[in-house]
């Protein structure tokens, strides 16, 4: 069996061959075909890399021979010979994966130098300093990458030499000093690598190729892939390219450039150029490069040639390019072209411009913008110019950045806020008792709790930044102090949190506020997405403000209105508690009667804000004890009172009574306890009150001519009997209200599908339910048996690290497990009721790849938080286009 | 469309027509066919009853006409006419469902009497007293059943009359008094029913039939059906039968009899006979009847005739019969034959005897015994002669009865036990700190917690009776007193609990102890079952004692050995805590090294006890905080110390440190948290220690020539990566131990399938796992989203009452939901690995209908607690036979 073709010269490939040749290799091949000035070279395929790993990190059969053969050809093309002391061929050896992984893998320049060829290079170039500088660079790079010698060892010697010479920069070092340093460098290699620096150029090449292959599985490369969701089994290609030198004098240089501004999208060349330097000098940031535009003055011919090439490449690829080039003694060489990374704003604007320039059509433009990146546009963020030092890291529980002064209690937050001081509320965890303080704060930081902790859920609901579960935070409630990774925090200290990243920073950092409406360019762009997509996009919103915001951002309905957040408002909580603590049905009824007008008012607001669009209102969902004070705090407080004021006081008795009730309602696993429709079945009067409020609100609006479209959603149904019984009860109340008002109104009653059993019996549920909405947060919890609160702050990080999980299933919908159950539910549900409307209202509804999956399931809509509506609009369009899968 | 045939005369039916004619009707038909002396009569079908309900409780078309027609025929056969004042036909109207529901539905005797016919009856029988007695009985029965008049109203008048007459029993009341009472009875009917007592005999009949139909849906009937798992949609038949009178003098009488002793199974006529009485008098227990055998002396001819009939019926049905009969003036009438209810012991012994008598074969015998009933044989129970007053009711958490003196702390239990006093440990709930007290007690009673609470699980493991979650119990820990439904309980008070029923009784009740081994007759019977069944029966056992017991009871392997119960033993708990509290891997390793010999010793014991059989050892499963003291108690204790001794004491600091760690490990939903294989992946050294202990134990036994067969079970796997990673780690340790001992040993590594996701990805799991064992407790929790602890003591009772659930899914496997997932897992698993061994080790493995379902799934074995092994052996056989589905 003969070996596959592992080696391709540039002209043998083209731009479509990224999979085999890597992105960089395919780009070089494409430029070569286009007749652009590219150095000679060849590419070792990604397949060779994969075979290398299959063979336990040894070269696959035939690779050495093909490389040997290619080097002979390269010698012929360039006209010099590899290892020839009189006129040596030097090459660069670089990695190149299918997609760019900047800085993640290794590169070696100037390969082919040794004690003999360095002299030849000096003679040939008549530049001894250049030759020895090149050689010492090669030794440093090769030794650190291939032989694993710490680069600092070399840097120390250079610093020492400069000190001896009384100079401060590398360019001041002369040829003799470099020569002397090379001798000492080789001694260091011998000492630290246990071998001599290889003088055989073929050995150099072999080792360098192997090192590039190895760098595919370096820790930083693996981490980068995990973060960017790049498969581990792609492998990297290796390019071996004739060296060209930007450091051969002032008519030489090296540069990087984008064909458009990657921050703003403006159509201007954007980049940097460094005279008399090699590429690594630009990256290293030792010298300050000039702007690319300045090249127009210093080397106008080169600039014009480059500008023309950039324009050609952009028109060729119909996309903004990221270019690398070198000028060797007045001659331009293109070293790389690839699609340029850019900000979300630039991505949208460039896509629009490319359409206006006639290069691409609107559908293509829609596919060009990373949907997730739009998230950046809708939250305050820390000014990119600010110097950021991260003091601690927690869970990115609610996005956006906030800065304020530390307070430790909700009451303090209110007081400071009234005094006009911005605060960050710092708590071990929050309870309903803290909500007024959360409202009064700019952001929330907690030591405990995950992405569905009270703090996280409420903060997200409020649109406030929150970092939760920050392990490094220890709070001393009594002294109102805390320790953050060892630094003491006092009340009033400034703190900045970034809920998008989970970072916590000491001090007050400058913030850039989010735009309050959809910018016109984004509105235009999203309208193109709307023309493409099949699925509707709805929003999860609990308040009229959120609903209005969602509508502005393009939501076509409310997929989830959580009524419990209405229960948690400060003035209502005491009534809710009165209802829960009621000992008799009469007392409960009295409390519910007080809540009715509040709920009706809530629903009037939200139904009016969404007039003409469906509003899906979920009846009460969480376990009742979520509305009561914390059991742990009550235990401490009653014990304190017992030992101080005694058990005879009114205060003790009241606390003790509350403790008893909280203990009674306490559950081992509240996520799996008395909640969802179980509440509505055990306490039918609660759901009855809510349904009454919904339909009284709708009637009131109808009288005012407002087109209210309520949909009643029963949470957590697992059996057809639950569905039937809650459906009947809700319908009875709704119809009673409507007939008392002698009016009619189209409405539906459906269920949130959030339990595995609901998926399995979906056909039976659909006999009654008029719509399904997948609650994928809970469905993920029960399918995996993970409590989100415990898992995301607990074992999931380790699971991701150990590759037990590819993604956090609460962030990215698990297609294989949860997705299978959803598919089954869709099939069974539609079999039983062909017109069944099906959506998703879990947080996955705003995550692009999950949106794409929902499209393949044939869902009618996705629903997500208001600020994710633009993301979902774009993702849904990309799903239709097939560019997002 | 003509009406179906709703009415069948006895000779038109036969014994196979129970579905249509009810059990009683089919029995009468069969006796009629066999030429036995049966009164004339006909049956209204169950179909008529179902149509009655379909038509909103009105008679279906055609029924009235068919009944009218049948009454005409009946008149012709009997020779008297219905409503004829001179010679009236009287009938009984009785219910009769497909299976007997004794006392649950209504019966009316003497129908056809009114003011006119009563006189005729008196003349005809020349017995005025008899006639008026019959009439007053009819009024009482009819009025209470049909007209809903409280029977006590009538009884009061009778008592009053007897008082006036200075007599004490009904038979002393003369004709005149009955006549006078009838007048007053009719006044009562008018007053309480708002109508006159119906004189039209056809109206009487119509109303009586309707009342029988109605009684199918009386509350007590519904409750009975729910308890006995009888479908609601069977309906009842109605028999209309010529009256025969046992109360026409001393040559008359009425009796009930079993063809064999229903308590012991002995082959003797067993029953009671009441001279000069109607059937209801026997049931009412007003007079003490004579033994059936005494009839031999008083009416030898009748006795011989009855004996011969009983024998014939038993041979005809090949089954022990429950007979009702009446003797009217020396003539025997058979009123009923049906399969007789019996104790478990009698059931087995009768089945064996019938085989020995050649009436049935062994396979038939195996199908004759209710598998669940065998449970009675293996637990202490309260003496049936004892007078039992239930003081409160809790969850039947661990079966069997216990009596002892109340103690409130584990230490007190130990002290009292050492002083030779039996105790019942009474706690709010138990924690690992209470285990020594549980060991020292006869039984455990808790105020909180469900069937998987610590108390329940540990008590079941110990085989100790436990009643958990007894709401009516309030404990004052400090004063060592409690209140049980309002009665004060002090330390030392006697209390009896029945963990089979959940009943709690004040005082000391006499108990009957369980047999310590399998009685020979049961062993014989079960060996017949073993010859029939396809599935193996294994046991869940955590100790050598349990394993030996299981083996004695017929277990063919251990399907689940829970290693955590070994961790909870008193001398080990401190080491386990040391392991959990370890701050460094070294400290953890040190604690694990101390645990290793304990675990090895455990495994030596259990593997030896099961030599030659597989022993499936589950690696550590529960969240670590289950091994630590209670968070709530620590909060109270640290607060107390802070306010009394202050924060500077050693004691405070130690408690505070423990509190911190417990808080750290505390989870919102521990059932869905850091447990199962997640523990083994985050703390691989724990699983490594356990696997080492297993294989060192196996090697030690092998050296001694013992055939140890360990199987390693990884709990809670949800992804193939978890399976692969824990498999690899366990295999590495196992193989290292074996190769160090230079020995080989066949073993398998498999997984407990207990998450919905595991079912969905079972094919991927089976790539690695060598066996599956369904953990249906957890699988039920996650499929339904129910926490068993919270649900069984919480909303499930209401769900059963409201018919949202048919059964508690933790008791009876949910075939539709959980079962679908299991079926999918079996299919996928066997597709991927044809030889995959699959069992079940959830508690459903010992519940007969669940065992039958497992048989249809094609499982290889069921595993259950040792004392349920006989039940499972029988159920598995019945599943194979198809008599249990």
> Residue B45: is its pLDDT beyond 80?
yes
Closest CA relative to residue A851, chosen from A563, A611, A559, A524: A559
Closest Cβ opposite residue B817 in set A667, A761, A789: A761
The residue in chain B having the minimum alpha-carbon distance to the alpha carbon of residue A802 is B681
Closest CA relative to residue B230, chosen from B322, B142, B98, B121: B98
**How much is the CA Rg of chain A, to the nearest whole Å?**
33
pLDDT tens for A248-292 read: 888 999 998 999 998 889 999 998 899 988 776 665 555 677 888
Q: In what order do the strands lie in the sheet with B91-97?
A: B7-9, B41-44, B236-242, B91-97, B107-111
Burial of A77 (0-12, 13-18, 19+ CB in 10 A): middle
Q: Which of B760, B764, B767, B791 to mutate to test the interface with A (most CBs of A within 10 A)?
A: B760
Closest Cβ opposite residue B781 in set A672, A816, A817: A672
The residue in chain B having the minimum alpha-carbon distance to the alpha carbon of residue A781 is B672
Min distance A493 CA to chain B CA atoms (Å) = 26
Q: Report residue B118 as tokens.
A: 């009563």
Is the separation of the CB atoms in B457 and B395 below 8 Å? no
pLDDT for B451 equals 67
Give the pLDDT band (50/70/90) at residue B283.
low
In 3-state terms, what secondary structure has residue A810? coil
Mean pLDDT, residues B80-107 taken together: 88
Q: How far is CA A178 from CA A157, A158, B797, in A?
A: 11, 9, 87
> Residue B229: is its pLDDT beyond 80?
no
Q: How far is CA A428 from CA A41, A481, B635, B636, in A?
A: 60, 12, 16, 19
Min distance B643 CA to chain A CA atoms (Å) = 7
Min distance A745 CA to chain B CA atoms (Å) = 30
Whether A760 sits inside 8 A of B816 (CB atoms) is yes
Whether A639 sits inside 8 A of B640 (CB atoms) is yes
Mean pLDDT, residues A544-573 taken together: 92
Whether B635 sits inside 8 A of A639 (CB atoms) is yes
Min distance A71 CA to chain B CA atoms (Å) = 43
pLDDT for A637 equals 94
Closest Cβ opposite residue A795 in set B453, B671, B674: B674
> Residue A521: is its pLDDT beyond 90?
yes
Min distance A166 CA to chain B CA atoms (Å) = 50
Mean pLDDT, residues B268-295 taken together: 79
How many residues does the structure list for chain A? Answer: 885
CA angle A19-A21-A26, nearest 5°?
Answer: 95
pLDDT for A803 equals 82
Whether A756 sits inside 8 A of B722 (CB atoms) is no
Whether B669 sits inside 8 A of A669 (CB atoms) is yes
Helix (H) or strand (E) run with residue B22 in it: helix B18-33
Q: Which residues pair with A404 in a beta bridge?
A: A495
Helices (H) and strands (E) in chain B, counts: 35, 31
- Which residues contact residue B656 at a Cβ distance below 8 angstroms, ignoring those fewer than 6 apart? B638, B647
pLDDT for A525 equals 98
Angle, nearest 10°, between helix axes A128-145 and A151-165? 150
Whether B817 sits inside 8 A of A760 (CB atoms) is yes
Q: Which of B452, B646, B756 to mutate to test the interface with A (most CBs of A within 10 A)?
A: B756
> Residue B538: is its pLDDT beyond 80?
yes
Closest Cβ opposite residue B790 in set A672, A716, A816: A672
Q: Report residue A876 as tokens.
A: 């849904």
Mean pLDDT, residues A594-611 taken together: 96
Q: Which of B841, B844, B854, B864 is catalytic?
A: B841
Is the separation of the CB atoms in B323 and B292 below 8 Å? no
Q: Which residues pair with B712 in a beta bridge?
A: B617, B749
Contacts of B791 in chain A (CB under 8 A): 672-673
Among A38-52, A404-418, A708-722, B441-455, the range scoring the smallest mean pLDDT is B441-455
Contacts of B631 in chain A (CB under 8 A): 632
Whether A668 sits inside 8 A of B814 (CB atoms) is no
pLDDT tens for B662-690 read: 888 889 899 999 999 999 999 999 999 99
Whether B671 sits inside 8 A of A787 (CB atoms) is yes
pLDDT tens for A815-839 read: 999 999 999 999 999 999 999 999 9
| Interface confidence (ipTM) of the complex | 0.81
Contacts of B476 in chain A (CB under 8 A): none
Min distance A538 CA to chain B CA atoms (Å) = 27
Whether A804 sits inside 8 A of B725 (CB atoms) is yes
Global pTM?
Answer: 0.82
The residue in chain B having the minimum alpha-carbon distance to the alpha carbon of residue A718 is B784
Q: What residues of A act catalytically?
A: 454, 841
Whether B798 sits inside 8 A of A722 (CB atoms) is no
Whether B785 sits inside 8 A of A754 (CB atoms) is yes
CB pairs under 8 A between A and B: 194
Among A437-446, B48-57, B446-455, B520-529, the range scoring the smallest mean pLDDT is B446-455
Min distance B776 CA to chain A CA atoms (Å) = 13
pLDDT for B286 equals 59
pLDDT for A72 equals 96
Helix (H) or strand (E) run with residue B304 in it: helix B300-317
Residue appearing with tokens 């060592």: B480
Closest Cβ opposite residue B669 in set A790, A804, A805: A790
Q: Which residues pair with B339 in a beta bridge?
A: B321
Whether A635 sits inside 8 A of B640 (CB atoms) is no
Among A355-364, B282-291, B568-577, the range scoring the smallest mean pLDDT is B282-291
Using CA atoms, how far apart are residues B302 and B173, in angstroms rounded to an integer?
29
pLDDT tens for A285-331 read: 556 778 888 888 889 999 999 999 999 999 999 999 999 999 999 99
Min distance A476 CA to chain B CA atoms (Å) = 13
Among A693-702, B241-250, B773-782, the range scoring the smallest mean pLDDT is B241-250
Q: Report residue B112 as tokens.
A: 């056809």
Whether B639 sits inside 8 A of A644 (CB atoms) is no
Closest Cβ opposite residue B798 in set A632, A667, A682: A682
Mean pLDDT, residues A392-412 taken together: 92
Contacts of A643 in chain B (CB under 8 A): 639-640, 643-644
pLDDT for B533 equals 97
pLDDT tens for A719-763 read: 999 999 999 999 999 999 999 988 889 999 999 999 999 999 999
pLDDT for B813 equals 97
Q: Which of B669, B775, B791, B808 to mutate to test the interface with A (most CBs of A within 10 A)?
A: B669
In 3-state terms, what secondary structure has residue A395? strand
pLDDT tens for B646-658 read: 999 999 999 998 9
Q: What is the DSSP string of B691-706?
A: HHHHHHHHHHHHHTT-
Closest Cβ opposite residue B670 in set A669, A716, A756: A669
Q: φ, ψ for residue B427 (rounded to 5)?
A: -135, 155
pLDDT tens for B787-822 read: 987 887 678 878 887 889 988 899 899 999 999 999
Closest Cβ opposite residue A718 in set B671, B676, B784: B784
CA angle B721-B726-B727, nearest 5°?
Answer: 95
- Answer with the residue of higher pLDDT: B30 or B101: B30
Whether A783 sits inside 8 A of B799 (CB atoms) is no
Q: φ, ψ for residue A683 (rounded to 5)?
A: -125, 70
pLDDT tens for B330-380 read: 999 999 898 888 888 899 999 999 999 999 999 999 999 999 889 878 888
Which H, E and C letters describe B643-664, residue by residue? HCCCCCCHHHHHHHHHHHHHHH
pLDDT for A210 equals 95
| Secondary structure letter of residue B232 according to DSSP | T
Q: What is the DSSP string of B820-863?
A: HHHHHHHHHHHHH-TT-EEEE-SGGGGSHHHHHHHHHHT-SEEE
Burial of B118 (0-12, 13-18, 19+ CB in 10 A): buried
Give the pLDDT band (50/70/90) at residue A383.
confident
pLDDT, chain B, mean:
92
Contacts of A804 in chain B (CB under 8 A): 681, 719, 721-722, 725
Whether B672 sits inside 8 A of A790 (CB atoms) is yes
Q: Which residues pair with A327 in a beta bridge?
A: A253, A332
Contacts of B783 in chain A (CB under 8 A): 718, 755-757, 760, 782
> Residue B567: is its pLDDT beyond 70?
yes
Using CA atoms, how far apart are residues A401 and A382, in angstroms rounded to an integer?
6
């Amino acid at each position: 069996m003969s070996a596959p073709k592992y080696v391709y010269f540039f002209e043998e490939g083209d731009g479509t061959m990224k999979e085999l040749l890597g992105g960089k290799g395919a780009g070089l091949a494409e430029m070569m075909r286009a007749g652009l000035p590219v150095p000679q070279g060849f590419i070792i395929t990604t397949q060779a890399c994969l075979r290398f790993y299959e063979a336990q990190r040894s070269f696959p059969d035939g690779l050495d021979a093909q490389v040997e053969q290619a080097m002979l050809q390269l010698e012929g093309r360039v006209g010099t010979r590899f290892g020839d002391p009189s006129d040596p061929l030097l090459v660069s050896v670089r990695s190149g994966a299918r997609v760019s992984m900047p800085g993640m893998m290794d590169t070696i320049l100037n390969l082919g130098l040794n004690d003999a060829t360095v002299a030849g290079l000096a003679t040939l170039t008549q530049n001894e300093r250049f030759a020895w500088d090149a050689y010492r660079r090669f030794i440093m790079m090769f030794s650190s990458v291939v032989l694993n010698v710490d680069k600092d060892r070399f840097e120390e010697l250079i610093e020492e030499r400069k000190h001896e010479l009384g100079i401060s920069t590398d360019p001041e070092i002369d040829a003799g000093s470099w020569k002397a340093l090379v001798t000492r460098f080789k001694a260091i290699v011998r000492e630290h690598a246990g071998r001599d620096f290889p003088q055989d150029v073929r050995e150099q090449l072999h080792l360098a190729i192997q090192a590039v292959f190895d760098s595919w599985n370096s820790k930083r490369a693996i981490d980068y892939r995990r973060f960017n969701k790049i498969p581990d089994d792609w492998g990297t290609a290796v390019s071996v390219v004739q060296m060209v030198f930007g450091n051969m004098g002032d008519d030489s240089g090296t540069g990087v450039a984008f064909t458009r501004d990657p921050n703003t999208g403006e159509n201007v060349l954007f980049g940097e150029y460094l005279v008399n330097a090699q590429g690594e000098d630009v990256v290293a940031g030792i010298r300050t490069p000039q702007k690319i535009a300045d090249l127009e003055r210093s080397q106008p011919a080169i600039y014009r040639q480059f500008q023309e090439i950039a324009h050609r490449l952009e028109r060729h690829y119909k996309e903004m390019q990221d270019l690398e080039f070198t000028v060797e003694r007045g001659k331009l060489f293109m070293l790389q072209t690839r699609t340029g990374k850019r900000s979300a704003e630039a991505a949208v604007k460039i896509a629009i411009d490319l359409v206006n320039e006639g290069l691409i059509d609107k559908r293509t433009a829609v596919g060009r913008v990373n949907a997730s990146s739009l998230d950046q546009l809708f939250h305050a963020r820390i000014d990119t110019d600010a110097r950021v030092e991260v003091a601690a890291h927690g869970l990115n529980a609610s996005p956006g950045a906030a800065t304020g002064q530390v307070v430790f209690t909700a009451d303090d937050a209110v007081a400071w806020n009234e005094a006009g001081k911005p605060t960050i509320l710092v708590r071990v965890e929050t309870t309903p008792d803290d909500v007024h303080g959360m409202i009064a704060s700019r952001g929330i930081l907690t030591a405990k709790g995950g992405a569905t902790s009270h703090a996280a859920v409420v903060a997200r609901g409020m649109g406030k930044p929150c970092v939760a579960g920050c392990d490094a935070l220890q709070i001393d409630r009594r002294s109102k102090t805390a320790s953050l990774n060892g630094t003491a925090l006092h009340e009033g200290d400034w703190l900045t949190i970034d809920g998008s990243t989970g970072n916590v920073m000491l001090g007050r950092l400058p913030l850039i506020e989010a735009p309050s409406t959809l910018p016109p360019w984004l509105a235009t762009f999203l309208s193109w997405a709307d023309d493409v997509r099949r699925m509707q996009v709805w929003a999860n919103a609990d308040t009229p403000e959120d609903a209005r915001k969602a509508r502005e951002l393009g939501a076509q309905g409310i997929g989830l209105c959580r009524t419990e957040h209405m229960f948690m408002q400060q003035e209502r909580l005491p009534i809710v508690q009165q209802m829960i603590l009621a000992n008799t049905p009469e007392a409960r009824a009295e409390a519910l009667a007080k809540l009715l007008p509040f709920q009706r008012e809530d629903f009037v607001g939200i139904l009016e804000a969404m007039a003409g669009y469906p509003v899906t209102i979920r009846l009460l969902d969480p376990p009742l004890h979520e509305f009561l004070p914390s059991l742990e705090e009550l235990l401490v407080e009653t014990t304190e009172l017992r030992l101080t004021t005694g058990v005879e006081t009114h205060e003790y008795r009241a606390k003790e009574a509350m403790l008893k009730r909280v203990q009674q309602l306490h559950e081992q696993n509240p996520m799996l306890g008395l909640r969802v429709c179980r509440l509505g079945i055990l306490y039918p009067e609660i759901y009855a009150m809510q349904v009454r409020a919904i339909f009284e609100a709708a009637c009131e609006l109808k009288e005012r001519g407002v087109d209210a479209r309520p949909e009643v959603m029963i949470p957590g149904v697992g059996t057809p009997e639950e569905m039937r019984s809650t459906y009947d009860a809700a319908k009875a109340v709704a119809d009673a209200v409507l007939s008392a008002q002698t009016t009619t109104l189209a409405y539906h009653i459906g269920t949130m599908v959030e339990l595995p059993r609901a998926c399995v019996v979906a056909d039976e549920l659909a006999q009654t339910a008029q719509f399904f909405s997948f609650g994928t947060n809970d469905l993920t919890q029960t399918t995996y048996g993970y409590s989100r609160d415990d898992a995301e702050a607990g074992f999931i990080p380790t699971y991701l690290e150990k590759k037990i999980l590819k993604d956090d299933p609460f962030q990215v919908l698990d297609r294989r497990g949860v997705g299978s159950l959803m598919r089954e539910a869709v099939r069974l549900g539609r079999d039983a009721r062909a017109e069944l409307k099906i959506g998703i209202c879990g947080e996955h509804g705003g995550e692009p790849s999950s949106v794409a999956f929902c499209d393949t399931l044939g869902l009618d809509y996705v629903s997500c938080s208001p600020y994710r509506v633009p993301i979902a609009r774009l993702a849904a369009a990309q799903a239709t286009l097939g560019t997002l899968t």
